[in-house]
Amino acid sequence: MSASASRTPPEGLGLGKDLTGLQHLTGAQIKGILDTAEPFKEISERRIKKVPVLRGKTIVNLFLEPSTRTRISFEFAEKRLSADTVNIAASGSSVQKGESLVDTARNLEAMRIDMVVIRHGSSGAARFLADRIPSNVINAGDGQHEHPTQALLDLLTIRDRFGSLAGRRVCIIGDVRHSRVARSDIWGLLRCGAEVAVCGPRTLIPLGIEELGVAVLSRVEEAIEWAEALYVLRLQLERMDGGFVPSLREYNRFFGISRARLERAPRDIAVLHPGPMNRGVEIDSDVADGPWSLILPQVTNGVAVRMAVLYLLAGGQPELAESAKEAEG
């Protein structure tokens, strides 16, 4: 794995101050992040899961929208790199009292922090923050825009499974319209040379998606026929109220990923899901827990990828990641 790290340019990846999305990154930059994540995987397998890479750095996890997995994953990544972290949630904070995002950010900045990891319900919120404070900003999901670290861990998981991303055929299934994960995965997969399709009820496929460079499939059978990997999106239950889908039962029948469907696939197929799952809706339990599933490896990779992103934005060099983690603690 460290051999792949040598592919990154020695002068660094040029990611800039922030990671707000994958749309404006190059394939080389994305590969560089994934390569940097490789050596960090091992840290989480140690008995003492801590290296001093970010010692003395202060990181604020500003989660203004509910999140369990992403917040915990970031927190583990930060702690395993020895950063000092503070968590802020919307409830119980000044945000709930009506403080604007820009004021919250400036107040944090005044406490001399180094990085902000932000989760926010509005598209563009991470960029908004990044443009207004000198700290590094990492987007942990903004509205329906992007969720770049989720996509990076997905890419890493697919690369682990298939050995490469170039030429892989990945179909994203479900509520693409409302999904920031879908957007980041589309950009990331395309930049890395994969072929991407989306599939779901037309009410959940946004207009103009083809212009991003993806194919649209309207039946899940076609998707299974075509793809090597299925990326199954969570169906937000409130979509029923919006009238996008008539019932969960119908969704499961026509778009759910079941064992029976996968057994008819012409090849060995991998299934990913960003979590949390609605078992029996978009994915059946015997798929989620079956041989197709890469869902738990995704979660494991999430910590490594986030460590890599934190390390790189803090100024770390990709080719030094291996040695950085060995430094004296």
Question: Which residue ranges make up the site for another protein (CB under 8 A)?
Answer: 23, 100-102, 120-125, 127-128, 142-146, 180, 183, 206-209, 211-212
Backbone phi and psi for residue 120, each to the nearest 5 degrees, phi listed first: -150, 150
**DSSP code of residue 249:** H
Q: Which is nearer to another protein, 31 or 180 (CB)?
A: 180
Distance of closest approach, residue 209 Cβ to another protein, in angstroms: 6
- Nearer to another protein among residue 177 and residue 273 (C-beta): 177
Name every residue whose Cβ is closer than 8 Å to that of residue 102 and which is 6 or more positions away in sequence: 128, 129, 132
The smaller minimum CB distance to another protein, of residues 175 and 284, is found at 175
Report which of 120, 50, 38, 131 is spatially closest to residue 84, judged by C-alpha positions. Answer: 50
User: Minimum CB separation from another protein for residue 32, in Å?
Assistant: 23
Put residue 171 in one of left, alpha, beta given phi > 0 → left and psi -120 to 50 → alpha: beta
Q: Pick the closer one to another protein by CB: 23 or 67.
A: 23
Q: Which residues pair with 230 in a beta bridge?
A: 171, 271
User: In Å, how far are 49, 169, 220, 270, 300 from 232, measured between CA atoms?
Assistant: 31, 14, 11, 10, 18
Q: At what angle do helices 69-80 and 148-162 cross, to 10 degrees?
A: 80
**Residue 281 DSSP one-character state:** T
Main-chain phi, psi angles of 315, to 5 degrees? 105, 5
State the Rg of the chain over Cα: 20
Locate 162 and state its tokens: 């298939």
Q: Which residue, 102 or 327, is less far from another protein as judged by CB?
A: 102
Distance CA 280, CA 285 (A): 7
Residue 274 parent element (H or E): none
CB of 125 to another protein, least distance (A): 5
Query: Least Å distance between CB 124 and another protein?
Result: 3
**Rounded distance between C-alpha atoms, residue 269 and residue 265, angstroms:** 7
Smaller CB separation from another protein, 57 or 178 = 178
Looking at the Cβ atoms of 80 and 145, the one nearer to another protein is 145
CB 203 within 8 A of CB 216: no
DSSP letter (8 states) at residue 1: -
- Pick the closer one to another protein by CB: 94 or 100: 100
